[in-house]
């Protein structure tokens, strides 16, 4: 998102808030995603796995803007383990 804003001289967006894009009222829990380490829960998210690749689907009910969508669909640029990512905005699903 930063690249798009920067190319269009819209980076003042980042000056408006110390933590743009973050909800200000929520405290982050350190173990927020620990439940994903449980095999029975992880198995419900996996639609395909062959030992080298794993396809998962996450529900993202709070997705509400194009910035979220853009970042999720470009996750492969941020993490080498992600080969591709798609968002179904209407169903609020991240594939």
Percent of the chain predicted with pLDDT > 70 = 75
Q: Which domain holds residue 92?
A: 38-95
| Selected residue with higher pLDDT from 55 and 7 | 55
Query: Do the domain assignments include residue 47?
Result: yes
Query: Do the domain assignments include residue 80?
Result: yes
Query: Do the domain assignments include residue 11?
Result: no
pLDDT in tens, 77-93: 888 888 999 988 888 88
The pTM is what?
A: 0.57
Give CA 73 to chain center in angstroms.
Answer: 8
Are 62 and 93 a contacting pair, CB within 8 Å?
A: no
The count of structural domains within the chain is 1
The CATH code of the domain that includes 81 is 3.30.70
- Kindly state the average pLDDT of the residues 40-58: 90
Query: And the tokens for 43?
Result: 């198995």
Query: Do the domain assignments include residue 30?
Result: no
Give pLDDT, residue 89. 84
Query: Do the domain assignments include residue 31?
Result: no
pLDDT in tens, 14-43: 565 566 555 555 666 788 888 888 999 988
The answer for residues whose C-beta is within 8 angstroms of residue 72's C-beta and 6 or more apart is 60, 63, 85, 87, 94
Four-point Cα dihedral 51, 95, 73, 63, nearest 10:
-140
């Amino acid at each position: 998102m930063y690249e798009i804003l920067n190319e269009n001289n819209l980076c003042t967006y980042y000056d408006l808030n110390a933590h743009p894009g973050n909800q200000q009222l929520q405290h982050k829990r350190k173990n927020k995603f620990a439940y994903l380490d449980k095999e029975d829960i992880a198995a419900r998210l996996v639609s395909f796995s062959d030992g080298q690749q794993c396809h998962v689907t996450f529900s993202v009910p709070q997705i509400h803007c194009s910035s979220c969508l853009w970042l999720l669909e470009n996750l492969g640029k941020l993490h080498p383990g992600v080969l591709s990512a798609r968002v179904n905005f209407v169903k609020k699903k991240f594939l």
